[in-house]
Amino acid sequence: MAQKTQKGKIMAHTVQPSQHATSRRSFLRTGLAVGGAGAIGAALVVNGVPAFAEESSGGLTPGDAAILRFLSAAEILETDFWQQYNELGGIQDSEVPGGSGSAAYTAALKVLDGDMDQYIHDNTEDEFTHFTFINAYLVSKGADPVNLDTFRTLPSSKATGAQDIGRLTNLMQLTVDTSYWTKYRSRTKNPDFGDTFPPAVPGLLKGQFPAIPRDDTDLSPADHIQAIANTAGFHFAFIEQGGTSLYPSLAQRVTHPEVLRILLSIGPTETMHFQTWQDKAGNAPALTDPTNGLVFPDLNAPPFGGEDFQTNLIMPEPTVFLSRKFPPVSIIRPTETKGAAMGALKALTDDGLFIGQSPEFFAVLHDLAKQADAARHGG
Ligand SMILES: [Fe+2]
Ligand SMILES: [Fe+2]
């Protein structure tokens, strides 16, 4: 609904590429020429996506607009996959409409926590509000918002309960990096120092696994649908720890205090999500998926266990920050600002979320990240 309104607003500014300008790059050149002739207002949009060479930043600095646009895109992508989770495993209601639920998947998720459906619903609603707010703020400043509707081309799950609509993201071939688990438990390492961390579930890095049932045949046997729910549980935390780092990383480069306030107000909600999901992932039962051999180990027993893995450690351990000369401190990690947007895009790509997307999709996301990473405080 909000997105529709936003889309209407964007479509009003839409300029169709000329028949001769087939490639994106040639369109950008054409766009530049047209814009330079003053024939078009500040906003120039290709298929609903801002053409960055011509972007309007309105009353915002170009850097602030670029950072907000990248965050809007990231939030649209988050919304897209959270919606898929909610349709099958959350609560479908007037706040988060769409889908009718999968009883077997919902029950498997509830093994992690009896309130999983409520938490999925609430996280989904939060993501909707994040991109809707950021886009509305961009528009209020005369800047171009972001709309990725043209890329809603990926298939939905065929499982009963999912809507049959085009998606931006793919939850059926994930390679989930669970190193966030040990990253937040280390007392001596920090990714900002180049440190790396072992995954909690090594198997999730060694293949492509569904985090939602692909169709109703995925609803059994019991350990298979539980493995799918476990994958989702670890994926929820992976996604939200990414947002937990992305906002503070980009906040260091915004210029206007109000834009800083936006980042400082949305970012910690990602942290609230992460904290919740990390706790729930710790309840994922140890098992082996009989269909593909994916192992969820007992994280409280050797060779796991100890402070790096024990499942009731859900708060960050203090670690090195800024310089090893300082005492360890409990912090979000990483918060390095250089290349933060591109790093986030790479993490989502490596996760498998965009498998099946078009080269144009990657080009647009790459441009958005590049513009955001070029932003400088006061610049
Ligand atoms: Fe978000
Ligand atoms: Fe989020």
Instruction: Decide which of 138 and 20 is more confident.
Output: 138
| Sign of torsion over alpha carbons 370, 368, 151, 40 | negative
pLDDT band at 43 (very low <50, low <70, confident <90, very high): very low
Domain boundaries, the chain: 2-374
Give 73 Cα–ligand 2 centroid separation in angstroms. 12
Asked whether residue 279 carries a pLDDT value surpassing 50, the answer given is: yes
pLDDT in tens, 128-171: 999 999 999 999 999 999 999 999 999 999 999 999 999 999 99
Q: What is the pLDDT of residue 379?
A: 77
Asked whether residue 36 carries a pLDDT value surpassing 90, the answer given is: no
Which string of DSSP letters, residue by residue, matches 96-137? Answer: S-S----HHHHHHHHTT-TTHHHHHHHHHHHHHHHHHHHHHH
Q: What is the pLDDT of residue 32?
A: 31
Give 195 Cα–ligand 1 centroid separation in angstroms. 26
104 φ, ψ (degrees, to nearest 5): -70, -40
Asked whether residue 46 carries a pLDDT value surpassing 70, the answer given is: no
How many whole angstroms separate alpha carbon 85 and alpha carbon 106?
A: 10
Give 271 Cα–ligand 1 centroid separation in angstroms. 10
Nearest by Cα to 3 from 132, 167, 195: 132
Nearest by Cα to 288 from 232, 229, 226, 235: 226
> Coil, strand or helix: which one is 329?
strand
Give 82 Cα–ligand 2 centroid separation in angstroms. 9
Arithmetic mean of pLDDT over the chain? 88
Question: Which bound ligand lies closest to the C-alpha atom of 76?
Answer: 1
Mean pLDDT of 36-62: 52
Asked whether residue 296 carries a pLDDT value surpassing 50, the answer given is: yes
Asked whether residue 1 carries a pLDDT value surpassing 70, the answer given is: no
pLDDT in tens, 160-171: 999 999 999 999
Residue with tokens 């790509």: 349
Question: Model pTM?
Answer: 0.87
Q: What angle do CA 148, 149, 154 make, to 5 degrees?
A: 100
Q: What is the pLDDT of residue 55?
A: 60
Instruction: Judge contact between 373 and 339, C-beta under 8 A.
Output: yes
Give 128 Cα–ligand 1 centroid separation in angstroms. 8
pLDDT band at 300 (very low <50, low <70, confident <90, very high): very high
How many whole angstroms separate alpha carbon 233 and alpha carbon 224?
A: 14
Which string of DSSP letters, residue by residue, matches 86-101? Answer: HHHHS--SSSS-S---
Mean pLDDT of 324-330: 97
Mean pLDDT of 319-342: 98
| Sign of torsion over alpha carbons 278, 282, 284, 287 | positive
Give 193 Cα–ligand 2 centroid separation in angstroms. 25
Question: Which bound ligand lies closest to the C-alpha atom of 273?
Answer: 2
Mean pLDDT of 208-213: 98
Residues of the chain with pLDDT > 70: what percent? 85
Q: What is the pLDDT of residue 44?
A: 38
User: E strands, the chain, where?
Assistant: 45-46, 49-50, 287-288, 295-296
Beta-carbon contacts of residue 346 (< 8 Å; ≥ 6 apart): none
Q: What angle do CA 250, 254, 257 make, to 5 degrees?
A: 125
Asked whether residue 12 carries a pLDDT value surpassing 80, the answer given is: no
What is the longest distance spanned by two Cα atoms in the chain?
Answer: 69
Asked whether residue 179 carries a pLDDT value surpassing 50, the answer given is: yes
